[in-house]
Amino acid sequence: MAKPMTKTQLVAALAEEMGTDKKSAGGALDAVCSLITREVSGGGAVTLPGVGKIYCRERPERMVRNPATGEQFKKDADKVVKMTIAKALKDSVNG
């Protein structure tokens, strides 16, 4: 499996794709990330066309087990960020 792209590499590729400098591309990336964070943390969802949908889902209170000791305990309800991958992206990877 290939190593994941770093933020520096992503900013450089984004700058090249946009035909702009790295500072503008970095600012655009930071703005998109902060918008996604704000929307999802507020309970909303964000759809990135061709990539997928990022959303927050609530998990109910449940019993979990400590694998080291085998002790069971109740874990409080919490929220988790999920992402559903778009069919177009799945098809491009598998096709």
> Any idea which fold 44-63+72-95 has?
HU Protein; Chain A (4.10.520)
Could you tell me where in the chain the CATH 4.10.520.10 domains are found?
44-63+72-95
Task: Name, in order, each residue with C-beta under 8 angstroms of 30's C-beta and a sequence gap of 6 or more.
Answer: none
Q: Which residues pair with 73 in a beta bridge?
A: 64
Q: Which residues pair with 65 in a beta bridge?
A: 72
Q: pLDDT for 2-61, tens place per residue?
A: 899 999 999 999 999 999 999 999 999 999 999 999 999 999 999 999 999 999 999 999
